[in-house]
Chain A
């Protein structure tokens, strides 16, 4: 904290500097800057929010209301759930949704489990070639899913595993696991070794130490890993498109991507299914924002 005297001295110096330079006065400068700031903020909010708003409004009003008068009306006069009922009656949205839930949750579980085990092992065990392991994990994190999808398709085809939850779970985990491992690896390094050692000294075995000391402490770490794995699997289009070729096995993203080609499905229903797909990620953001930002700060999410 600066004392009053120091602050007064600062102000005096600043004014002297301003008088010397022939620029705009500090106050005008600050006002201009303020206007520019709020203008930018406004522009970006419009750019960010308007598309989301469009989705919500069109999903929640009837197509007749949306397109009344030959133009798009974005101020809803009355809300209706008609688009959702058409969606449920005319399409397999429910089945696609269930497929998505099954593969997303199994992939999240698998990815997080591997990441916790590997992260702990890589932190607590010493071995040569550790930096090679780190590079391998990071390298696979940058890999293109489509490049991996082609050989996986051929292998699953040969093994008769196409169109199975198992195959898609493996494929989805392949793209989420590298970052989850990286995240847990970094996270376990923040867990002090002394914590485990003191449990040891008190006679707890290795497994008990892991179960009762390490895992509870690592909870924020594996929650953010699980969020990431969930987001990757739920958002995925590429892997599901390649691995699932039967209509009844489509995930919601693949199933819904075909809606626009169908005569019976219009923009209202398309935005309604968009809203449905967006609900799980939004719930996560709402309840787990703290963990989400933590994931960002560790190394950036895809």
Chain B
């Protein structure tokens, strides 16, 4: 067979070899070409750039100098802390909201399927639209929330949520949870619906309370899904750029500046591609670290690898 020794097809019948070779090429050439062009080359290129000072014009090799410079500044650690805070709260709250609602919809309540359809709305709206809506709701002058807060006497003055130090992060988190809460909801609901209802019936007959049934039946079935949500959603929120950029640009006073926001600022506002790619490099290594945990814990690739 003319196909390389390492590649053997399950469909091989020892004939139509040219067709097999062509098919093999047609399957893998686009994949490898594409991965090389948009993943491998850019990542290696970025890692290379991160070793230079002003790498675009008059590059000067500084080795790990950019990394050392970043890790030595206090602001880097505060940006990292902002990223972790944002990722933690958005993930935790999405999980709580998603779990609560999945448990509700899983009960046979009237309008449950309508509720399920509604849950997909925030998820479908593009991020920009989500931010427009929340900027309007939370606006200091005409915002509907402030209108009620003032009318009910809860605050003396309207709050500019996205631009006060105390409220900027919570406001971004609320907008994010509004959009991404349904992610947890749909995954958890799918798991809940796979649980055999006989288990609950038996528990009820044995006199178990709702809480006991949840602890001993529901939760064990959901544990895997919850871990995946915490890990994957956490990674995605840590990496999130658009929501924060569109709502606060990282302000006020860098209160919501996360690592992705800072990478963008370094590259396009300060035109410092050396530091920007070094910070991107740090994010890359952090992700790789978490990915190792993810693959160890779940070996998700075993689903397709055999």
Chain A residues with CB under 8 Å of chain B are 10, 13-14, 17, 21, 23, 29, 33, 37-38, 40-41, 44-45, 47-49, 51-52, 54-55, 58, 67, 71-72, 74, 113-114, 117-118, 120-128, 130-131, 134-136, 138-140, 142-148, 150-155, 170-171, 173-174, 177, 181-182, 185-186, 189, 193, 196-197, 200, 205-207, 210, 231, 234-235, 237-238, 241-242, 253, 256-257, 260, 267, 270-271, 274, 277-278, 281-282, 284-285, 289, 292-293, 296-297, 299-302
Contacts and interface: CB of A to CB of B under 8 A. Distances in A.
B126 A151 contact: no
B207 to A, nearest CB: 4
A49 B190 contact: no
Given A37-B107, A147-B280, A186-B304, A118 B232 contact: no
Contacts of A113: 30
A44 B101 contact: yes
A271 B136 contact: yes
Contacts of A173: 34, 38
Interface string B285-306: 0011001000100001111110
Nearest to A204: B16
B280 A237 contact: no
Nearest to A129: B6
B183 A147 contact: no
A152 B134 contact: no
Which one of A126, A135, A150 has the greatest number of beta carbons of chain B within 10 Å?
A150
A33 B8 contact: no
A147 B267 contact: no
Interface stretch (B17-25, B67-75, B152-160, B163-171): B17-25
A45 B142 CA distance: 24
A144 B283 contact: yes
Given A51-B134, A126-B9, A145-B239, 10 more contacts: A40-B104, A48-B178, A54-B136, A123-B304, A134-B300, A147-B284, A193-B10, A193-B11, A205-B16, A235-B127
A21 B305 CA distance: 52
Contacts, number: 281
Contacts of B239: 142-147
Contact of B20 (A38, A177, A206): A206
Given A54-B144, A205-B16, A267-B136, A278 B126 contact: yes
A107 B273 CA distance: 27
Contact of A10 (B35, B126, B205): B205
Which one of B134, B135, B228, B268 has the greatest number of beta carbons of chain A within 10 Å?
B268
A260 B207 contact: no
Interface in B251-294: 260, 263-264, 267-268, 273, 276-277, 280, 283-284, 287-288, 291
Nearest to A253: B128
A200 to B, nearest CB: 6
Contacts of B35: 136, 140
Contact of B122 (A51, A126, A260): A51
Contacts of A257: 128, 246
B295 A13 contact: no
B56 interface: yes
A181 B104 contact: no
Contacts of A143: 239, 287
Nearest to B210: A33
A174 B35 CA distance: 8
Contacts of B218: none
Which one of B22, B143, B186 has the greatest number of beta carbons of chain A within 10 Å?
B186
Top 4 nearest A-B pairs by Cβ distance?
A121-B27, A134-B301, A144-B239, A151-B42
A257 B278 CA distance: 28
A159 to B, nearest CB: 11
Given A33-B210, A185-B304, A72 B280 contact: no
Contact of B27 (A120, A130, A131, A174): A120
A281 B54 CA distance: 41
Contact of A148 (B42, B124, B210): B42
A51 B287 contact: no
Interface residues of B, number: 104
A131 B273 contact: no
B242 to A, nearest CB: 4
A51 B118 CA distance: 12
Contacts of A44: 97, 100-101, 104, 115, 119
Given A143-B287, A150-B46, A285-B124, A55 B228 contact: no
A60 B53 CA distance: 52
A267 to B, nearest CB: 6
A144 B260 contact: yes
B295 to A, nearest CB: 6
Contacts of B288: 139
B41 interface: yes
Interface string B167-198: 00000000000100001001100100000000
Contact of A197 (B11, B111, B124, B128): B11
Contact of B273 (A154, A189, A205): A154
A112 to B, nearest CB: 11
B50 to A, nearest CB: 10
A124 B10 contact: yes
A45 B104 CA distance: 12
A286 to B, nearest CB: 10
Contact of B124 (A54, A153, A200, A281): A281
Contact of B26 (A72, A117, A296): A117
